[in-house]
Every structure is written in structure tokens, then in C-alpha cells.
């Protein structure tokens, strides 16, 4: 867009104009850095990764603390196979359980364990503190 608000000629190659590209790349850097720092801090504080936290948080708000793998994948924006592999590792650490659904034996469910819920507690307090500080 030009200075007078009218659409100018498209940049070479159809990519963004200078200011737009700088803003877009700055956004990407901030987003990646935020995820990196959150993951680093979670690992340092609790030995839990940001992906672990994503799974546990989703399960903590689900009915009965359980979700079908496909529903969990959609909820956190992952591929089903990534969820399956990740929850298998989390299950080995006692944070979740995985098994066939009692209601439909064709469906795999993931359930939050007591240990998984306990692992969330310190993180919830910290997030509450941050959100409260940001709320006017």
C-alpha cells in the first residue's frame, strides 16, 4: 500500500513491500522466541516441555480429564501421529494414560493422571500471576 492509502504496484515476485516484510519477519521472530523462552523456562522450572504443557492443559479442561486422540490433536493443532507419539512418551513418565475408550473400543483416549494434574499446578499459578499483571 502506498503512502496515500492506495494500492501500489505489487512488489517484484508478488512478495510483501519493505515495511510489510519487516513487520511480518519481526512477528515471526517474536513468536518463535516466545515459544523458545516458554519451553526453556518450563523445562528449567519443572522438567516439563511446552508440548507437554499443551497436552496437559487441554486434558485438564476436558470432561473427566480425558479426550480422544483425534479430538486432542484438533484441540491443540497437531497431527494425530504427533499426539500419539508424544502422549506415549508422557505416559511413560506417568503424566497421562492411553488406552481404548470404554464407550467405543475402536477409539484411543488419553487421560490426565494425578501426577499430570500435579505437574500443572505450579505452572497454573505462574500463568495466573502473568495474566493478572497484564489485565487492566
The string of DSSP codes covering 70-123 is: HHHHHHHT--HHHHHHHHHHHHHTTSEEEEE-SS-TTSEEEEE-HHHHHHHHHH
What is the rounded CA–CA span in Å between residue 106 and residue 14? Answer: 48
Q: What is the pLDDT of residues 54-91, one digit of tens each?
A: 999 999 999 999 999 999 999 999 999 999 999 999 99
Q: Is the pLDDT of residue 51 over 60?
A: yes
Q: pLDDT-based confidence at 109, cuts 50/70/90?
A: very high
Q: Which CATH class is domain 48-134?
A: mainly alpha
Per-chain mean pLDDT for the chain: 87
Given this model, what pLDDT does residue 70 score? 96
What is the rounded CA–CA span in Å between residue 89 and residue 58? Answer: 17
Q: pLDDT-based confidence at 5, cuts 50/70/90?
A: low
Domains of the chain: which residue ranges?
48-134
Given this model, what pLDDT does residue 129 score? 79
- Record the pTM: 0.76
Amino acid at each position: 500500500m502506498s503512502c496515500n492509502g492506495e494500492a501500489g504496484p505489487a512488489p517484484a515476485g508478488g512478495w510483501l513491500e519493505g515495511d510489510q516484510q519487516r513487520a511480518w519477519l519481526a512477528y515471526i521472530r517474536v513468536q518463535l522466541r516466545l515459544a523458545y523462552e516458554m519451553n526453556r523456562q518450563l523445562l528449567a522450572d519443572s522438567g516439563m516441555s511446552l508440548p507437554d504443557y499443551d497436552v496437559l492443559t487441554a486434558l485438564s479442561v476436558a470432561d473427566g480429564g480425558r479426550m480422544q486422540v483425534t479430538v486432542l490433536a484438533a484441540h491443540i493443532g497437531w497431527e494425530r501421529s504427533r499426539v500419539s507419539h508424544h502422549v506415549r512418551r508422557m505416559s511413560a513418565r506417568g503424566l497421562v494414560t492411553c488406552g481404548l475408550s470404554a464407550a467405543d473400543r475402536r477409539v484411543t483416549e488419553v487421560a490426565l493422571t494425578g501426577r499430570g494434574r500435579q505437574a500443572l499446578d505450579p505452572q497454573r499459578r505462574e500463568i495466573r500471576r502473568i495474566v493478572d499483571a497484564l489485565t487492566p
